[in-house]
């Protein structure tokens, strides 16, 4: 993310559903302190690492996401996400490509999981969402990897990327991290296609939600992600997230790290600008101009797409239309991923894509 505009309401805090926000762990200030200096001792918990029966049972008749496949993943069945009952992980390590309040100076401590409950045709992380690049990992081994990352890299938060199809394991790891003494904010980095029931379960285990809001166009969400109900599900999900955590709390000054709250992301799709304009209008009407919003121009065609426009990147004038609309609506807490070489070419520069077959997927190559 290259630029942040507007922070006039930085002191204002959440304006949406603060009913539950007070009940979460830690205030924003506390969260920031924790983010800077959370305990990084690897005091491994005395509790058992195994999934508690209740969490394990969530994999039977799986309803972890709104697909509600009803398969028994404990018996080796898999649903739309193509994952069974074993936790599978693609990468654990610092990532410097998130928004500044998450990346800070030492990176966001990401955990990427294999598989995905959305499986968008244009997925930017195709290797892990579709090709299952990754390996099985026990809870204790993932916990050790995370604790090592905290100690060695000093990451500012623990960022669970697309965790929803593994929520039972992720919930348990989140609990165990607390038992080690870590006070780093836990981030659930989500597609926006989550059920309210799962988010209610997540509430005590997470500080920051980072949801996408991909579509307002049902025909488009049906065609590209196989779920015509995405706009309705995402609206309910983001509403629940905001009721739990409020707006992201990192707007006091430009160097503030996020400790708690919600930041909504939207990636512009080439040739589908009306969808983006409508997404922004919907977010403004539902949550107001104080909603922290991240506008992303990074789309790159990873695999050949049936929708012709998706085989190119976003044009500069397409980006400008969406960006102008965000400014006209008056979003005050806006992160913008500006196209590079904005003035020298007709389309946004094809961005760097991670390669999850490498030990460090984000290393330059």
Positions that interact with ligand SF4 (CB under 6 A): 62-65, 67-69, 71, 79-81, 117, 165
- Give rounded-to-5 percent helix, strand, coil for the chain: 35, 15, 50
Smallest distance from the beta carbon of 79 to ligand SF4, in angstroms?
3
Smallest distance from the beta carbon of 110 to ligand SF4, in angstroms?
20
CB of 62 or CB of 334, closer to ligand SF4: 62
Q: How far apart are CA 185 and CA 165, in angstroms?
A: 21
CB of 50 or CB of 68, closer to ligand SF4: 68
CB of 79 or CB of 361, closer to ligand SF4: 79
Smallest distance from the beta carbon of 157 to ligand SF4, in angstroms?
24
CB of 163 or CB of 231, closer to ligand SF4: 163
What is the distance between the terminal CA atoms of the chain, rounded to a whole angstrom? 20
Smallest distance from the beta carbon of 265 to ligand SF4, in angstroms?
21
Smallest distance from the beta carbon of 195 to ligand SF4, in angstroms?
9
CB of 165 or CB of 214, closer to ligand SF4: 165
Smallest distance from the beta carbon of 220 to ligand SF4, in angstroms?
20
C-alpha distances in Å from residue 189, one per residue of 92, 262, 327, 330: 14, 10, 25, 25
Distance of CA 291 to the CA centre of its chain: 16
Q: Which residue is nearest to ligand SF4 (CB)?
A: 79
Q: In what order do the strands lie in the sheet with 3-5?
A: 3-5, 334-336, 293-296, 264-267
> Comparing C-alpha atoms, which of 266, 206, 187 is closest to residue 231?
266
* E-assigned strand segments in the chain: 3-5, 88-95, 108-113, 135-136, 158-161, 186-190, 208-211, 261-262, 264-267, 293-296, 334-336
CB of 226 or CB of 301, closer to ligand SF4: 226
């Amino acid at each position: 993310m290259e630029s942040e505009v507007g922070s006039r309401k930085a002191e204002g805090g959440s304006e949406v559903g603060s009913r539950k926000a007070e009940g979460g762990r830690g205030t924003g200030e506390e969260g920031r302190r924790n983010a800077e200096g959370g305990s990084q001792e690897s005091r491994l918990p005395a509790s058992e690492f195994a999934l508690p029966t209740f969490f394990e049972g969530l994999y039977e008749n799986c309803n972890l996401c709104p697909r509600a496949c009803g398969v028994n993943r404990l018996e080796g069945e898999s649903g739309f996400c193509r994952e069974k009952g074993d936790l599978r992980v693609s990468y654990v390590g610092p990532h410097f490509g998130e928004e500044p309040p998450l990346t800070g100076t030492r990176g966001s401590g990401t955990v990427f999981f294999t598989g995905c409950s959305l499986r968008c045709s244009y997925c930017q992380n195709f290797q892990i969402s579709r090709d299952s690049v990754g390996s099985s990992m026990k809870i204790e081994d993932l916990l050790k990897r995370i604790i090592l990352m905290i100690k060695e890299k000093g990451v500012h938060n623990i960022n669970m990327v697309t965790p929803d199809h593994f929520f039972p394991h992720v919930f348990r790891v989140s609990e165990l991290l607390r038992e080690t003494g870590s006070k780093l904010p836990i981030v659930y980095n989500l597609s926006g296609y989550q059920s309210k029931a799962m988010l209610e379960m997540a509430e005590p285990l997470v500080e920051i939600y980072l949801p996408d809001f991909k579509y307002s166009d049902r025909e488009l969400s049906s065609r590209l992600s196989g779920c015509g109900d995405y706009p309705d599900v995402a609206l309910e999900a983001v509403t629940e997230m905001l009721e739990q955590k409020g707006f992201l709390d990192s707007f006091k000054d430009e160097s503030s790290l996020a400790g708690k709250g919600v930041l909504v992301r939207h990636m512009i799709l080439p040739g589908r600008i009306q969808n983006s304009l409508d997404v922004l209008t919907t977010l403004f009407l539902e949550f107001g101009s104080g909603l922290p919003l991240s506008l992303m121009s990074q789309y790159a065609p990873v695999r050949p797409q049936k929708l012709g426009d998706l085989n190119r990147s976003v044009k500069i004038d397409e980006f400008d239309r969406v960006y102008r609309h965000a400014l006209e609506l008056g979003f005050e807490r806006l992160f913008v991923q500006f196209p590079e070489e904005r003035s020298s070419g007709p389309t946004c520069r094809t961005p760097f894509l991670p390669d999850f077959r490498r030990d460090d997927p984000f290393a330059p190559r």
